[in-house]
Amino acid sequence: MALARMTRPLVVVTNREPYVDERTKTGIRTVQRAGGVVSALDPLLRELGGDWVAWGSGSADRLTAPNGIRPVPLKNPKYRLHRVYLTPEEVQGYYNRYANQGLWPLSHLLIERARFSRQAWSTYRAVNQKFARRVAREMPNNALVFSHDYQLAVFPSALRQLRSDMAIAHFWHIPWPVYPVLKLCPQYQELLRGMLGADVLGFQTLDDAQAFMDSVAHTFRHVAIDRSRGEIAWQGRTIEVKAFPISVDIEAIESLVRSPRISRWAQGIRRHLLAPGQRLGISVDRADYTKGIIPRLEALREFFRRYPQHLGRIVFLQVVVPTRSEVHAYRLLYRQVEEETRRINEEFSQGTWKPLITIRRSIDRPRLMGLFRAADFALVSSLFDGMNLVAKEFVSAQVDRRGVLLLSETTGAAQELSQALPINPWDPEGFAETLDQALSLTPEERAERLAAMQAHLHAHTLYDWVSDILTTLDTVAGSYVES
């Protein structure tokens, strides 16, 4: 990988930390966070060495990180995790309020859910500055800084003010709202200025990158923007604004699901859940209102009403993982999902068969991938989604090539996985119809579609994503120091 030639020190900055240390009755338990970003960057930092700066949120975090630095791994360390500690007021203003109740719904175009306040903004900005001070104080000269997401939008400019030797790439994981929507955020100009502190701005899709450049063009009219090259001239620098679609490690998923343990588990799940002639559907989401869980349940109701020939023949397993439960809207959604699921089961169950089964907790990653292998179809019904890794994981895990993916057109993933069957989560009748069609595809049609999507994922892996961003940053940083 081109990254092996990188000569500058690497610093990763995220809101959530890759390892959380929790107090237990018997001692300390380390939990690795299982998201795409962690699974891409943790091995890279272990190989190259470097530093990761993140909010230290675990109950035993201070114990394992005297002076705020936690070696990873604890024995025979390969890199350093720098923990930024936040007060409960900071967590509330920065994370729960400004990021999760303001920027998150706004970026997903759910305008009525967005709440902004000057007080939350001032905490958000202060916490971004706190992250920047920590990086400025502890990181080596000429480092490449790779920061992430909507929690840290103003981190790049805060860092640049303190340390002009560092090159910064900031990746925005969620959709970028079009200008008329962005403008509803009272602090949108400060957010844009904050992001423009970076040298490389990465988005999931070209549409997002273009929408960002549009916002800059409308807001700062004197700024020169080359849209076709994706470049913004800003305060004497050239900022690269590009699409870097995040992906998955398909090879790792394939070998995981082919392992004897997970193969057995996947077969066991089918035996356990399905009677002969029945088919298994699956969905996996954090219980977030952007994921379209309620619209999906409405479409399933519509499906069973319109196509009663499927009654008794489908078992749909929904994994709904609790998330952000400090925010009222999330607790409410969780209750609505429970209620809606119960109603559908009451309406359609026959004998021992019931259409919906819910798993209400997180499943470990190997078993989750095993479920994807075991399924006959997956429903990804997000209202809006930057990428959606679940869709890419399902395709990767389908080594038997039996399944069908129904994928919301408004996900970033839909722009790449063109052999998925497109659905519109706002159109329950159309959604139900597509599901009926999916179930009538021949085995050959299903296998062909999966093979084409798997070939795409082999050619665009998670490591290509990291490598593309960091080599772009490295190149920009090179010209920057020499000029």
- 232 binds ligand GDG, rule: CB under 6 A: no
Structure tokens at 408: 């919301």
Task: Please tell me the count of residues contacting ligand GDG according to CB under 6 A.
Answer: 22
Query: How does 155-166 read in b/e, with b if 16+ C-beta sit within 10 Å?
Result: bbbbbbeebeeb
- 319 binds ligand GDG, rule: CB under 6 A: yes
| Interacting positions 284-313 with ligand GDG (CB under 6 A) | 284, 286
Structure tokens at 15: 């809101």
CB of 172 to ligand GDG, least distance (A): 9
User: Which helix (DSSP H) or strand (DSSP E) does residue 278 occupy?
Assistant: none
Do you find a cis peptide bond into 73, omega within 30 degrees of 0? Answer: yes
Stretch that binds ligand GDG, among 34-42, 111-119, 435-443, 454-462 (CB under 6 A): 34-42
- 174 binds ligand GDG, rule: CB under 6 A: yes
- 33 binds ligand GDG, rule: CB under 6 A: no
Which positions from 385 to 424 touch ligand GDG by CB under 6 A, shown as an x/- string?
A: xxxxxx--x-------------------------------
Question: Nearest CA to 16 among 123, 103, 131?
Answer: 131
- 35 binds ligand GDG, rule: CB under 6 A: yes
Q: Nearer Cβ to ligand GDG, position 18 or 386?
A: 386
- 151 binds ligand GDG, rule: CB under 6 A: no
CB of 204 to ligand GDG, least distance (A): 7
Q: Nearer Cβ to ligand GDG, position 160 or 291?
A: 291
Structure tokens at 316: 């749909």
- Bridge-based pairing state of the strands 51-55 and 79-84: parallel
Contact 423, 408 (CB under 8 A): yes
- 16 binds ligand GDG, rule: CB under 6 A: no
| Interacting positions 323-362 with ligand GDG (CB under 6 A) | 362
| Interacting positions 233-252 with ligand GDG (CB under 6 A) | 246
Q: Which of 125, 173, 449, 460 binds ligand GDG (CB under 6 A)?
A: 173
CB of 183 to ligand GDG, least distance (A): 22
3-state secondary structure 202-233: EECCHHHHHHHHHHHHHHCCCCCEECCCCEEE
What residues form DSSP beta bridges with 203?
A: 243
Stretch that binds ligand GDG, among 95-103, 303-311, 380-388, 428-436 (CB under 6 A): 380-388
Q: Which of 368, 404, 457, 476 binds ligand GDG (CB under 6 A)?
A: 368
Question: Nearest CA to 269 among 388, 395, 397?
Answer: 397
Question: Nearest CA to 255 among 374, 65, 399?
Answer: 399
CA dist., res. 55 & res. 13, Å (int): 9
Stretch that binds ligand GDG, among 60-68, 115-123, 190-198, 379-387 (CB under 6 A): 379-387
Q: Nearer Cβ to ligand GDG, position 114 or 284?
A: 284
CA dist., res. 432 & res. 305, Å (int): 9
CA dist., res. 194 & res. 160, Å (int): 10
CA atoms within 13 A on the CB side of 3: 22
Structure tokens at 117: 């306040």
- 314 binds ligand GDG, rule: CB under 6 A: no
Q: Nearer Cβ to ligand GDG, position 268 or 322?
A: 322
Q: What residue ranges bind ligand GDG (CB under 6 A)?
A: 34-36, 173-174, 246, 284, 286, 319, 321, 362-365, 368, 385-390, 393
